[in-house]
Amino acid sequence: MSRPALKFCLVTPSFPLAERPTRGGSTTYAEHLAKVLLQHDFEVHVVLYQETHLPAATALLAVKLHVITLRAIPYFSALLPGVAEAWQLGSFLQELDQREHFAAVEGANDEGKLLFAVRYFRERFVIRLHSSLRQHITGKKQPLTWARRFSVWLDKQTVRRCLRRVTHSHLHATEMAHEYGISVDSIQVFPHAVESPKPILTAPRPCIEQPVIIYIGTLDRRKGIDILLAAIPSVLNRFPQAELRVIGRDGGDSPAASWKDWFQATTSSKNSCRRVVFTGPVTDEALNVHWQEASLVVIPSRYESFGYILAEAFARGVPALATRGGALPEVARDGALLVEPNNPSALAEGAMQLLTDTTLASKLIARGHELYYQHYTLDRFGKNVIALHRQGITQQ
């Protein structure tokens, strides 16, 4: 008689749904985590917490989906921001665990929302460290109000009380250890995964006379979108048939102006404006088409704690140009052309070098392909995940 499947609980604010098929970094991570656990015969429960009510939700994977709406409580939430939401989520998870008896639980450091869950589950809980709340606040140059300081404190308490921690790069582990006042040795490191696309190309794209340059990600200053838009006119002048496709949600340079508006207002060349296409968020199918047509992907970030798009470029056989911002050199190794961050001229020169030097582009594609299979496959990610959670299960 076979043993019943071990039950795993993934707590996340983002998961691929039939109602919302678009992707993002946290959504992709949650999807990959669920996939590898399902492949290893776990029974996977996903607790999707939201601040707005979802009238209906259907997961794209064979998981058991539980949705909770976290509601602010007037006056109390203003006095102690985040505590009511953390209590609601913790109570929901405790009741669910009393029915399901989870072997392991994982969630991310999300503004302290998992404080009570961490205290309840203890050894069964793994917290995945993404960028801290303080990093987000300072990165967006928001004023550090009392409410934000309290939220930063709540975030810190959650991470410090968690007994088991994991993150996706050694640089980020070092930063988070300093940020939260914990030992770097208490953080396990294994990188994100990229699913193997088909087909994988191993040579530069054809029709280099009409190159397609792509940018994928949220449009904000941390991602360096302003640097890319400042650099691209000189690249388009050098390649009159080139096109830049900016793929992702446009958060805007300000509440009143999108990055598309900013580019059109700051660029004198109407020809350049016509050849920079802002697509907004796209479906998986449309994104695959952009990857297949790309001659070059550019990651102009001022900071990345990992750099998922870079690993995906390795998997897809697309030459990559990235900055040395954050953990990008750690992820890229020698598989991408790296330039200094915050430097439009260096970014433009790097793009033109990769579009003209097909020998270099081929070399980077081949090396990126090797790095993908060595470090960033779903199979390797799965082995790391299973070892991590089975270790916690045997310690109980």
Q: What three-state secondary structure class fits 9? A: strand
E strands of 55-178, at which residues? 64-69, 104-108, 125-128, 165-167
Q: What percent of the chain has pLDDT over 70?
A: 92
Nearest by Cα to 248 from 259, 261, 257: 259
79, amino acid identity: L
Contact 347, 340 (CB under 8 A): no
- Is residue 357 situated within a structural domain? yes
| pLDDT exceeds 70 at position 352 | yes
Q: Tell me, yes or no, whether 141 and 220 share the same domain.
A: no
Q: Tell me, yes or no, whether 227 and 158 share the same domain.
A: no
- Is residue 251 situated within a structural domain? yes
Q: What is the pLDDT of residues 142-151, one digit of tens each?
A: 787 888 889 8
Q: Tell me, yes or no, whether 159 and 268 share the same domain.
A: no
Vertex 76 angle, CA 74 and 78, to 5°: 75
- Is residue 202 situated within a structural domain? no
Q: 2: which DSSP letter? A: P
- Is residue 203 situated within a structural domain? no
Q: Tell me, yes or no, whether 88 and 169 share the same domain.
A: yes
Domain hosting 136: range is: 7-193+378-395
| pLDDT exceeds 60 at position 49 | yes
138 — pLDDT class (breaks 50, 70, 90): confident
| pLDDT exceeds 80 at position 25 | no
Dihedral (Cα; 373, 375, 377, 378), 10-degree rounding: 150
Q: What is the pLDDT of residues 165-199, one digit of tens each?
A: 999 999 999 999 999 999 999 999 999 998 887 65
Q: How far apart are CA 125 and CA 272, in angstroms?
A: 51
- Is residue 77 situated within a structural domain? yes
Q: Which two tokens stand for residue 230?
A: 């400042």
pLDDT of residue 3: 55
Q: What is the pLDDT of residues 204-213, one digit of tens each?
A: 554 466 899 9
21 — pLDDT class (breaks 50, 70, 90): low
Q: How far apart are CA 216 and CA 211, in angstroms?
A: 16
pLDDT of residue 393: 65
Backbone region of residue 317 per phi and psi (left: phi > 0; alpha: psi in -120 to 50; beta: other values): left
pLDDT of residue 395: 58
Q: Tell me, yes or no, whether 29 and 166 share the same domain.
A: yes
E strands of 117-184, at which residues? 125-128, 165-167
- Is residue 385 situated within a structural domain? yes
Q: Tell me, yes or no, whether 219 and 299 share the same domain.
A: yes
Q: Tell me, yes or no, whether 350 and 389 share the same domain.
A: no
Q: What is the count of structural domains for the chain? A: 2
CB atoms within 10 A of CB 395: 10
58-62, 240-244, 391-395: which has the minimum mean pLDDT?
A: 391-395
- Is residue 204 situated within a structural domain? no
Q: What is the pLDDT of residues 96-119, one digit of tens each?
A: 999 999 999 999 998 899 999 999
Distances (CA, A) of 234 to 86, 229, 237, 300: 49, 10, 5, 16
Q: Tell me, yes or no, whether 72 and 182 share the same domain.
A: yes
| pLDDT exceeds 70 at position 47 | yes
Q: How far apart are CA 84 and CA 80, in angstroms?
A: 8
Q: What is the pLDDT of residues 284-329, one digit of tens each?
A: 889 999 999 999 999 999 999 999 999 999 999 999 999 999 999 9
Q: Tell me, yes or no, whether 340 and 253 share the same domain.
A: yes
Q: Tell me, yes or no, whether 383 and 346 share the same domain.
A: no
Cα-Cα-Cα-Cα dihedral sign, residues 65, 66, 67, 72:
negative
Q: Tell me, yes or no, whether 155 and 181 share the same domain.
A: yes
Q: Tell me, yes or no, whether 289 and 323 share the same domain.
A: yes
The 10 Å CB-count burial string (b at 16+, else e) for 310-346 is bbbbbbbbbbbbbbebbbbbbbbeebbbbbebebbeb
CATH number for position 67: 3.40.50.2000
- Displacement of CA 306 from its chain's centroid (Å): 8
pLDDT of residue 198: 63
Query: What is the rounded average pLDDT of the residues 251-278?
Result: 82
- Is residue 86 situated within a structural domain? yes
